[in-house]
Structure 1
Amino acid sequence: MKSSATRSGAGGHARTPCDAAARAHSSGPLDLLRAEFDGVHDVWRSASGMVYVAGPEAARAVLGNRPAIVAETSDFYRTRHGVFGPRAAQAEIGRAARALMHHHLDARRSQLPRLIHERLAPRSSWPDAGNLLVHEHLADVLLHPGAPISLRTTVGKVVTRAVLAGARRRHAPPSRLLLRHRASAALQAEIRARQHRRQHHGGSAGPRDLLDVVVDGCGPATASDDLAEVYLSFLFAAVGSIGFALGWSVHLLGTHPGCPAAPDRIVREALRLWPVAWLFARTPLRAVELGGMTVTPEDQLAVCTYLVHRHPAYWERPDEFLPQRWAAPVSRAAYLPFGHGPHTCAGATVTLQLLKDIVGLLIHDWRLSVIHDGGGPQVGPALAPPRFTAVLSPRANSSGRR
């Protein structure tokens, strides 16, 4: 890629392939990025040619996009035709989805102890166990019980064959492509049926599931294939992202026995160390100075929240799991687990609520230990935990909660 970066300045620092090779200890993408980031230069051109952003100030400038310095984009409302819009429809869908999810979680909270007992005890294989538990807990809000059984079955197959960590490696590309085609066709048929009912029989009293939220948030003329892709984004965010975040919380809790911390502090610290949404790609609209470096529309920017969350200038002992750090006021400038700006994850509060509920039950009802499989984080579009086995044994005070 053609470079137009300024080599001088506090944040303008170019790394050569030799620099990276000399400092990296493995070929993993996280290790390579950590090797390139020196903790001083917050914006730099990687050996790959990508311009990475690890400083909180620069990261917020890019993600917040005020003033407009990057092409407006969304990390959620993307379809094959571009970014789904208009922005007003995005906002309405996000608002309705949060309200529906909060109502569902409040109504089903009492079922969580039984679900944990049945699905996680005495042993469970992670991170898949977290994704599958979240999917079961949210099944009726993803698709209401009256939805076609065939569609619910298809959505379940999408979870096992496309959402779970490593699913792409376990299933051949032709099989995945066929599933995507069938899932899209089934969703579009149901979307068109719901659009027809709303057009000819009026709207419902309120959304019954997230597919209703997507359909109700747009006009009847909105293309069903776009709406199907937005719904699948909800599915991946709910079951994938929340499930992986739960996996990191369980992994850290199990590897730090006796950790004296409240559930919310454990969850926040897990999201700091291992943000599931760890990389946000953007394209500059014009030449602009960012962290002492000049970037142009020819460059590709990547905001790396994994590095923002471990920036040594903002975090004490940044690589350590220290949930007690959240007992005192913490600067949120360097904490972006759900992104930042107009496209911050719409389900952030829902995610935190569900994670705190589950982690709180694990702490109260169970003794937890973790057995590693020897691997590391599973790095892809989402940052998933390594494979591990969680072993649960009930505490004496837990018998009445199941």
Structure 2
Amino acid sequence: MKEEAWSGFQRDPLGFLDRELSGAGDIVQTGRNEYSLGNAAAARLVLSNADGSYAEHSDFFHTRYGYFEPRSAQLKMRREARGLLREFLQSRGPDALRDFIAQQVPATSRWPDAGNWLSYRYLLPVLLAPERPPALRRLLDRIVERSVLAGARARQPRWRRMWLQFNTTLRLSGAIGDCQRAPRDPPRDMLDVVANSDGPQRRQDELTEVYLSFLFAVSGSVGFVLAWSLYLWGTHPRRDVPAEWIVQEALRLWPVAWQLGRHPTQAHELSGVQVEVSDEVVVCPYLVQRNAAHWAQPAEFRPERWADEQAWRNPAFIPFGHGAHRCVAADLATQLVADMLRCVLALGEVDVVAHGDRPTVAAAMAPPPFTLQVRPSR
């Protein structure tokens, strides 16, 4: 009977979690050796991993070779990446963003793809300095089109995915090698940041995967959060509330990074369940952030809840993870999405026409497709 239930999770993971979610939402078995955790305190303990009960893991610094180390290289990369992003955002200012949105958003656009392209194009100079070879820019365009957009991977035949992976590794490894031979201080883009985060003995194809994590965060995560914010604004009764509240509520209800898997290094009890080293514990922000023990009407879109200062400190809000590996640019990215949302809504009379109500659930959770229609204000 359990096997049948677990197969239900594979077919409809969110529906399964919604059905299994208890009032406290502690822990749900989602596979033979997999448990999805929805208890806020336990989730924070797992992610912080202060007692070493779990193998060290970063969802950002995870490559085909395992966990990217040393920690000093991670910290250097995080510090420089945040500095680059902050400097870029401060140098552009609100007028530049407003003009960019006005140029990029037509009268009719299809989302969430439009959100991915908006965030990617706006932040492209951070990913790739303008003086880089145009061929690298075209390569990043193809990666976004074929690997980032909602459902893009499923639409590609296997041979095309393999060719793109091979070409990406080859081209970006070469670019990283060029950066290592002529290091820049300070770095001019994320390519410099990644290339010079560690010594020359580091495998260039491994560094390529870390660089792609930045690309996926910029074009995927940021773009999906913007799309979720617009979708929820447009499919619920209009509320005259700050854009920041809408973005926070979108992150709470529909966290893009909805599964954060960890592997125990020793058997122990977690939320009343005995977990073994053969198990996987999945911290599930989707469950944590709908936990009725921490949120009133947790399944409802209520951006006004963020008027309460305590909401911003709610322990059951972990859309960017928790602990040492929490997203280093979470505050910058959240503010950028709020600024972008404001600019889009200021374009005129804005309407959202939804084409469904089911998210696209993969490694990242994207909103249902919708059309954004903009008419000049009367």
Same fold (TM over 0.5): yes
Matched, 1:76 2:60: yes
What is residue 283 of structure 1 aligned with on the other side?
A: 263
Cα distance between partner residues in 2 of 1:307 and 1:256: 22
Per the TM alignment, residue 367 of structure 1 is displaced from its structure 2 partner at its CA by: 2.6
Q: One-letter code of the match for 2:170?
A: A
Match of 1:115 among 100, 108, 119: 100
What is residue 189 of structure 1 aligned with on the other side?
A: 174
Q: One-letter code of the match for 1:90?
A: Q
Matched, 1:174 2:155: no
User: Does the aligned pair in 1 maintain the 2:25–2:287 contact within 8 Å?
Assistant: no
Matched, 1:132 2:117: yes
What is residue 54 of structure 1 aligned with on the other side?
A: 38
Cα distance between partner residues in 2 of 1:33 and 1:136: 35
User: Does the aligned pair in 2 maintain the 1:273–1:309 contact within 8 Å?
Assistant: yes
User: Does the aligned pair in 1 maintain the 2:9–2:30 contact within 8 Å?
Assistant: no
User: Does the aligned pair in 2 maintain the 1:309–1:336 contact within 8 Å?
Assistant: yes
What is residue 10 of structure 1 aligned with on the other side?
A: none
Cα distance between partner residues in 1 of 2:28 and 2:182: 53
Q: Which moved more, 1:285-294 or 1:26-35?
A: 26-35
Matches for 1:312-391 after TM superposition, within 5 Å: 312-329=292-309, 330=311, 331-391=313-373
User: Does the aligned pair in 2 maintain the 1:162–1:168 contact within 8 Å?
Assistant: yes
Cα distance between partner residues in 1 of 2:108 and 2:25: 44
User: Does the aligned pair in 2 maintain the 1:20–1:35 contact within 8 Å?
Assistant: no
Cα distance between partner residues in 1 of 2:270 and 2:168: 42
Cα distance between partner residues in 2 of 1:124 and 1:222: 42
What is residue 85 of structure 1 aligned with on the other side?
A: 69
Cα distance between partner residues in 2 of 1:83 and 1:125: 37
Aligned CA RMSD, in angstroms, stands at 1.9
What is residue 19 of structure 2 aligned with on the other side?
A: 35
Indicate how the Cα distance of structure 1 residues 253 and 377 shifts in structure 2: closer, same or farther if over 3 A, else same: same
Cα distance between partner residues in 2 of 1:299 and 1:316: 32
What is residue 128 of structure 2 aligned with on the other side?
A: 143
Instruction: Provide Cα deviations, 1:160-208, integer angstroms capped at 9, x if missing partner.
Output: 011111111221111011011111111111111111123xxxxx34111
User: Does the aligned pair in 1 maintain the 2:109–2:373 contact within 8 Å?
Assistant: yes
What is residue 219 of structure 1 aligned with on the other side?
A: 199
3-state SS, counterpart of residue 260 of structure 2: strand
Cα distance between partner residues in 2 of 1:79 and 1:280: 15
User: Does the aligned pair in 1 maintain the 2:115–2:224 contact within 8 Å?
Assistant: yes
3-state SS, counterpart of residue 289 of structure 1: strand
Structure 1: where are the runs of 5+ without partners? 1-14, 199-203, 397-402
3-state SS, counterpart of residue 351 of structure 2: strand
What is residue 8 of structure 1 aligned with on the other side?
A: none
Instruction: Provide Cα deviations, 1:222-263, integer angstroms capped at 9, x if missing partner.
Output: 221111111011101111110011110110111235312101
Matched, 1:16 2:2: yes
Matched, 1:162 2:147: yes
- How many residue pairs match? The answer is 375
Q: One-letter code of the match for 1:59?
A: A
User: Does the aligned pair in 1 maintain the 2:56–2:67 contact within 8 Å?
Assistant: no
Indicate how the Cα distance of structure 1 residues 119 and 257 shifts in structure 2: closer, same or farther if over 3 A, else same: farther
What is residue 285 of structure 2 aligned with on the other side?
A: 305
What is residue 209 of structure 2 aligned with on the other side?
A: 229
Per the TM alignment, residue 19 of structure 1 is displaced from its structure 2 partner at its CA by: 6.6
TM-score normalised to structure 1 length: 0.89
Cα distance between partner residues in 2 of 1:222 and 1:25: 39
Cα distance between partner residues in 1 of 2:146 and 2:11: 27
Per the TM alignment, residue 105 of structure 1 is displaced from its structure 2 partner at its CA by: 1.6
Cα distance between partner residues in 1 of 2:180 and 2:5: 56
3-state SS, counterpart of residue 50 of structure 2: coil
Cα distance between partner residues in 2 of 1:146 and 1:304: 41
Cα distance between partner residues in 1 of 2:152 and 2:349: 30
User: Does the aligned pair in 1 maintain the 2:102–2:347 contact within 8 Å?
Assistant: no
What is residue 99 of structure 1 aligned with on the other side?
A: 83
Instruction: Provide Cα deviations, 1:75-129, integer angstroms capped at 9, x if missing partner.
Output: 0111111111101110110111011011112222322222222322311100000
Instruction: Provide Cα deviations, 1:53-81, integer angstroms capped at 9, x if missing partner.
Output: 01101111111112111111110111111
Instruction: Give aligned-pair identity as a percent.
Output: 41
Cα distance between partner residues in 2 of 1:149 and 1:259: 43
Cα distance between partner residues in 1 of 2:171 and 2:9: 46
Indicate how the Cα distance of structure 1 residues 93 and 250 shifts in structure 2: closer, same or farther if over 3 A, else same: same
